[in-house]
Amino acid sequence: MKLNLSKLALGSVQFGLDYGINNADGIVQFEEVKRIIDIAFSNNIRTIDTARLYGNSEAVLGQLDLNNWQIVSKFSSKIDVESSIEDEFRTSARSLHLKNIYGYIAHSADILIENPLIWNQLKSLKDQELISRIGFSIYKPEQLEKLLDLGCIPDLVQVQYNLLDRRFEPYFEPLKKLNCEIHSRSAFLQGLFFKEDIPDYFLPIKSILKEIQLLYPNRFERAAFLLAFCLKNPFIDKVVIGVQSAKELQDNLDALLTFNPLVNSQLALPNFDSEIVLPYNWPKTK
């Protein structure tokens, strides 16, 4: 099965924050951002994922011509009492130098669960044709169930999905029946799959992490293996990938095009508490 690179979306959190458990280089400099964007575009990648909470990522992207890109941004989970989603949207749109944004979603599903009337504000922005798709980023299946019960039927959801985290798989087909676009994030678990010195916190999954490292000692072949697992899922529309440099992106793309990873390799996953794969639970260490 040939891998479709257009299913990749470029993550931009590293353009505005020192992000990732295995990030030793800090925030990506603007000249390098431009090179990353050029390589992505030349490889038929047309979606960029960003957010208000990604430092100055939106402002950095706004210095580029984004007219031929599908931009997905997320509004903060800490909205001021006196502000509105429209205020948030217009702030992001100004930073990005765009009048319309392809996707605009809640950074945390909890804000919609706690304030479901916000959904009406999102629908209003969509009705004004300022946004093409509305939705939310979710970390747990129970969040999705609550939102659907509240009548928040998304056009776009972003979920954490990777070789070790398959909690949302039972929901993929029902979401597609709702005409919902599915974007996956954390194919690399913020770089955990590449970390040589694995902290004790991850002891329950250390064996599988080490097995994958031994199976694919070359980091770009390992990246291709992990990305292919997501790309080959027919229900996933976009797989978000974040990189620190243009070379890293090009090497990942080359690996995907030239190396045919066996996604169905016989890897026995250990039993572990799913909370361990949620980055917001991780100890503050690198």
Q: Which amino acid is at 217?
A: P
Q: What pLDDT shows up at residue 265?
A: 59
Helix (H) or strand (E) holding 133: strand 131-138
Q: What pLDDT shows up at residue 247?
A: 96
Q: What pLDDT shows up at residue 285?
A: 58
**H helical segments located in the chain:** 30-42, 57-61, 85-96, 109-114, 118-127, 141-149, 169-177, 203-215, 219-231, 246-258
pTM of the model: 0.92
Q: What pLDDT shows up at residue 21?
A: 45
* pLDDT under 70: residue ranges of the chain: 1, 19-25, 78-83, 261-266, 285-286
Q: What pLDDT shows up at residue 65?
A: 95
* Residue-wise pLDDT tens digits, 196-224: 899 999 999 999 999 999 999 999 899 99
DSSP 281: G
Provide the b/e sequence for 83-114 (b: ≥16 CB within 10 Å).
Answer: eebeebbeebbebbebeebbbbbbbbbbbbbe
- Residue holding tokens 């922005």? 125
Give the Cα separation of 144 and 79 in Å (integer). 21
Q: What pLDDT shows up at residue 267?
A: 80
Q: What pLDDT shows up at residue 258?
A: 85
Q: What pLDDT shows up at residue 81?
A: 47
Query: What domains are defined for the chain?
Result: 5-281 (3.20.20.100)
